[in-house]
Amino acid sequence: MRPIRVVSGLIGLLLFFLSACGAPANSPRRVALQLIASGFTSPVALVALHDGSQRLFVVDQTGVIWIIADGIRLERPFLDLRARVVKLNDFYDERGLLGLALHPDFAANGRLYVSYSAPLQADASPDDGDHTTIISEFTVSANNPDQADPASERVVLAIDKPGYNYEAGHLAFGPDGYLYIATGDSVRDPASESGQFAQDPFSLLGKILRIDVDGRADSSPNYSIPADNPFAAGGGLPEVYAYGFRNPYRFSFDAAQDRSFDVSDSGQPRLFVADVGQAVMEEIDLVESGGNYGWPVREGTSCFNSQSWNQPLESCPAQGLSEPIISYPHEGDLSAVIGGMVYRGAAIPELNGGYVFGDWGRGNGHIFVAYPPGWSMMEIQIDLPGDLSGLGQLLGIGQDENGELYLLTKAPGAGTTGDTGIVYKMVP
* Each residue's pLDDT expressed in tens, for the chain with a length of 428 residues: 334 333 334 333 333 333 334 444 456 699 999 999 999 999 999 999 988 889 999 999 999 999 999 989 999 999 999 999 999 999 999 999 999 999 999 999 999 999 999 999 888 777 778 999 999 999 999 999 999 999 999 999 999 999 888 999 999 999 999 999 999 999 888 878 888 899 999 999 999 999 999 988 776 789 999 999 999 999 999 999 999 999 999 999 996 755 444 444 456 689 999 999 999 999 999 999 999 999 999 999 999 999 999 999 999 999 999 999 999 999 999 999 999 999 999 999 999 999 999 999 999 999 999 999 999 999 999 999 888 889 999 999 999 999 999 999 999 999 999 999 999 999 99
Q: What is the pLDDT of residue 125?
A: 76
Give residue 108's Cα distance to chain centre. Answer: 26
Cis peptide before 296 (omega within 30 of 0): yes
Comparing CA positions, the residue from 157, 134, 171, 160 lying closest to residue 47 is 171
Residue-wise DSSP of 2-40: HHHHHHHHHHHHHHHHHHHHHHHHHS--EEEEEEEEEEE
Would residue 241 be called left, alpha or beta, if left means φ above 0 and alpha means ψ between -120 and 50 degrees? alpha
Report the number of secondary-structure helices (H) and strands (E) in the chain: 3, 28
How many CA atoms are closer than 13 Å to the CA of 254, on its beta-carbon side?
Answer: 24
Q: What is the pLDDT of residue 20?
A: 39
Whether 96 and 40 have beta carbons less than 8 Å apart is answered as: no
How far apart CA 212 and CA 171 sit, in angstroms, is 13
Comparing CA positions, the residue from 364, 178, 360, 211 lying closest to residue 276 is 360
* H helix or E strand, kind and range, residue 273: strand 270-275
Name the DSSP letter for residue 131. E
Whether 359 and 335 have beta carbons less than 8 Å apart is answered as: yes
How far apart CA 283 and CA 328 sit, in angstroms, is 7
Give residue 397's Cα distance to chain centre. Answer: 9
Q: What is the pLDDT of residue 16?
A: 35
Break the chain into its structural domains and give their ranges: 42-342
Is residue 274 packed enough to be buried (19+ CB in 10 Å), middle (13-18) or exposed (0-12)? buried
For 68, other C-beta atoms within 10 Å of its C-beta total 19
Please work out, in degrees rounded to the nearest 5, the angle formed at the alpha carbon of residue 17 by the alpha carbons of 14 and 23.
Answer: 135
Phi, psi of 211 (to 5 degrees): -135, 165
Whether 282 and 307 have beta carbons less than 8 Å apart is answered as: no
Q: Which residues pair with 79 in a beta bridge?
A: 65
Q: Where are the alpha helices (DSSP H) in 169-254?
A: 190-193
Whether 308 and 365 have beta carbons less than 8 Å apart is answered as: no
Q: What CATH number has the domain spanning 42-342?
A: 2.120.10.30
Q: Where are the alpha helices (DSSP H) in 173-249?
A: 190-193
